[in-house]
Structure 1
């Protein structure tokens, strides 16, 4: 039970830092996007969702979300074995790595992303004003 609590705390802390890192000017667009991410991943799959976010550019809320996903995958203790603990991978390398995962690894990463965006959505709702 204790490890579940610690896992939830880790995700919650990271999610809160993600929301805190968003510049005021981009907060509303970021909030709108992160509120859709879990549904996008469930409906379209992780790879298609990553491709969509990647196609929207890197100097906006989409780029920030992709960066946050990449950082969580390389820093989450459940996923470090999959990503070889690599801290410095770019977006293309990250997506390439996702496409080469085994089915079991892909399902694990997908679940972790859905959990992560559940937490980010909660914090964004509470911390960012506007657009409900």
Structure 2
């Protein structure tokens, strides 16, 4: 099975710039005016112009206040302090302070469009520290 990540955004240029700066992603293919591919993660990330719909017409207007969906993205980094500074300087906002856990460290953030992100730094044996 292959996994593709799709993120709806209202501004493709701004989203591409932010995610490239924050996470070191590189541009891939462009799909007309309503979709772009970003590479450099384990799965490709597709930015979709939110109100374009599948055929270029808005199916339902999106609202971008802060929200959590049942799915969010975790970005595993080697140095959480550096990654947090990079993400914040790119335009993400931290919602919590860095927290320590048995498996490592975590901070939660959101982007300008309300999407939730977590930065994780594994220490020791990572999740194996808490796996049964």
**Greater C-alpha Rg:** 2
- Which structure carries more relative contact order (alpha carbon 8 Å, separation 6+)? 1
TM over 0.5: no
TM-score class normalised by the smaller sequence: under 0.3
TM-score (norm 1): 0.21
